[in-house]
Amino acid sequence: MVPVSGEVPKNPVVTKTGHVYERSLLETYVKETGNDPVTGEAINLEEDIIVIQASSPSAEGATNGTVIHPKQPTLTSIPSLLSSLQSEWDALILETFSLKQQLLKTRQELSTALYINDAAVRVSARLTKERDEAREELAKLAASLGSVASSGANTSSMDVDANGQEGEESQPSVALPSAFIEKITSKSQVLASTRKANSKKELPAEHTTVEGLGKFVESFKSKQLFASVSHLSVNEETGDVVTGGGKSQGGIFSTSEKALIGDNFQASGIVTGVCWDNEAFAVATKAGVVDYYQADRTSKPIHISSNQPLISIASFPAGQLVVTADKNGTWYVVDLESGTELSSISNGSPVTSLAVHPDGELVAVGSADGNIRIHKVTDEDFSEPAAVFPTGSDDSPAGSVTSLSFSENGYWLAASSSSLVGQVQIWNLRKLSLLTTVPFETLNSEILSIKFDPSGQYLAAASSEGIEVAAYNKQGKSWTPGVLTSSAGAVDLGWTTHAKSLVSITSKGSIHIFEQSE
């Protein structure tokens, strides 16, 4: 704030300090500071300011008491005006040039920021990939250490004779521990008696009828849950589905809520098989590890002695007991509670599928040579099969067994094979013979998965071409295919309780639910 100079103020005032100011400017300054702009002395606007009469009405050159401001000397001629305009133009050009420079600088800064962001994203992606690879290597190393520890224990168990000399290595017994045999047998007796009583009764009223099954439609289709999915397992009571994928990830899908529930789990390796164990579930992995997720979803890794990739897994009705197999043709009985391997059996051919009898005493092992070997695990030595069923037909050689499913009645075993295109064989366990071959008319490719419903009245089959369900006719003792058909290809499927719904999953991890339409 300076005194007015160089021009006549419109509303001049003088302060007690003797300086002249424009009134509006002085009032604004004093209201903000309370002082004279030049001297800094305190000023009162009402007492210390005197209004100056700039001109009188009679003054020459004045009209009505107003002041006529003189023109600047530089604007009194055309050359001066042109010079002024040229100066203003030059100033405008300089300002435009400055703005362009600032814009260029801002663009360069933005380009640098975008480059830094892109580099950060690339580094993050690379680190994530390295982390996943490190986790997989760590799982393999842990499995390898478990295998070494197991082999070391076997080596230390060599016989020593009376003279202290080492003898031949003692071979572990194939029989299961007596406590587990008793556990399986007791549960089998309870289930067998219950099944015998139920066989004389009609199906519950809430169970889906053949007519109701024919009204099934695809009521839901999820987005991709996990990549490279090969198996699912349906909890018949709750309707929850456990599945996993090729990135060692898995989760639980609720058929009632139509969404994943809870947190996803990180398995020890690529998921190759899943099965429910009451409220808990077990996962087989390519790392040679069985991950046991208990009811509270805490996990327990169980290392298989062979350290080979596992291909399948199935649970026993007695609970906390599963059977799994590796790709080299050895299958194992594993105690989930203690995390120990109870027994291992060499199959003589690569194992391609597994199934446990509803009573729990029998294990069916499907092989790459096309044979199904039935083992009774409660025998003292169950390394040799109690029965062998050869799949295939007279028209084509036997192919690998792709899927197995026991019927709830305990008498039938269904099997699909790579050589049985669009067909499923049903074997009679009581007569140890082939009962019938069920043709699935809409499936003209290899059947990948088969499942009996909880009553044993319906048999569902899945292939890359679609899904088809056949129903059993008690009067005619025959199977009627095509009761339910769908073009939605699948790699695995399962039923919920009372056959209320049929759940399937594609290799890309999309779940389909089929239910009765209203």
Rounded to whole angstroms, the Cα distance separating 300 from 336 reads 8
Q: What is the CA radius of gyration of the chain?
A: 44
Question: Which residues, other chains included, contact 148 with Cβ-Cβ below 8 Å and sequence gap of 6+?
Answer: none
From 56, 71, 103, give the residue that closes a domain.
56
In the structure, what pLDDT confidence band is assigned to residue 397 with cuts at 50, 70 and 90?
A: low
Rounded to whole angstroms, the Cα distance separating 465 from 479 reads 21
How confident is the model at residue 164, as a pLDDT?
Answer: 43
In a domain, 272, yes or no: no
Q: Where are the beta strands (DSSP E) in 316-432?
A: 321-326, 330-335, 340-346, 351-356, 362-367, 371-376, 387-390, 401-406, 412-417, 423-428
Rounded to whole angstroms, the Cα distance separating 141 from 18 reads 95
% the chain with pLDDT above 70: 86
In a domain, 312, yes or no: no
How confident is the model at residue 66, as a pLDDT?
Answer: 55
- State which amino acid sits at residue 171: Q
From 34, 56, 78, give the residue that closes a domain.
56
What does DSSP assign to residue 426?
E
Question: Which residues, other chains included, contact 45 with Cβ-Cβ below 8 Å and sequence gap of 6+?
Answer: 27, 30, 31
Q: Above 70 in pLDDT, residue 45? A: yes
Are residues 107 and 115 in contact, defined by beta-carbon separation less than 8 angstroms? no
- The CATH number covering residue 499 comes to 2.130.10.10
How confident is the model at residue 415, as a pLDDT?
Answer: 95
| Count of residues in the chain | 518
In a domain, 162, yes or no: no
Lookup: tokens for 272 = 């190759």
How confident is the model at residue 147, as a pLDDT?
Answer: 47
Q: Above 90 in pLDDT, residue 250? A: yes
Residues 405-457 pLDDT 10s? 999 988 999 999 998 889 999 999 999 999 999 999 899 889 999 999 998 99
What does DSSP assign to residue 476?
T
Strands 466-473 and 478-486: antiparallel
In a domain, 5, yes or no: yes
Q: If you search the block for the tokens 């998965």, which residue do you land on?
A: 449
Residues 372-386 pLDDT 10s? 999 999 998 899 999
What does DSSP assign to residue 417?
E
How confident is the model at residue 74, as a pLDDT?
Answer: 62
In a domain, 500, yes or no: yes
- State which amino acid sits at residue 132: D
In a domain, 499, yes or no: yes
- The CATH number covering residue 17 comes to 3.30.40.10
Q: Which domain holds residue 20?
A: 1-56
Rounded to whole angstroms, the Cα distance separating 51 from 64 reads 18
The CA-atom distances, in angstroms, between 160 and each of 127, 150, 151, 173, 456 are: 53, 20, 18, 18, 54
Strands 299-303 and 310-315: unpaired
309: left (phi over 0), alpha (psi -120 to 50) or beta: beta
Q: Which residues of 447-484 are buried (b: 16+ CB within 10 A; e: fewer)?
A: bbbbbbbbbbbbbbbbbebbbbbbbbeeeeeebebebb
Number of domains in the chain: 2
CA angle 465, 470, 474 (to 5 degrees): 170
Mean pLDDT of all residues in 312-335: 93
From 56, 71, 97, give the residue that closes a domain.
56
Q: Of 277, 312, 274, 283, which Cα lies nearest the Cα of 295?
A: 277
Residues 469-496 pLDDT 10s? 999 998 888 999 999 999 999 999 999 9
How confident is the model at residue 75, as a pLDDT?
Answer: 66
In a domain, 46, yes or no: yes
- The CA-based diameter of the chain, rounded to the nearest angstrom, is 147
**What rounded mean pLDDT belongs to the chain?**
85
Q: Where are the beta strands (DSSP E) in 377-510?
A: 387-390, 401-406, 412-417, 423-428, 433-439, 447-452, 458-463, 466-473, 478-486, 492-495, 501-505
Residues 119-138 pLDDT 10s? 999 999 999 988 888 888 88
Check whether residue 228 and residue 374 sit in a common domain: yes
Question: Which run of H or E residues covers position 122?
Answer: helix 78-155
Rounded to whole angstroms, the Cα distance separating 242 from 278 reads 12
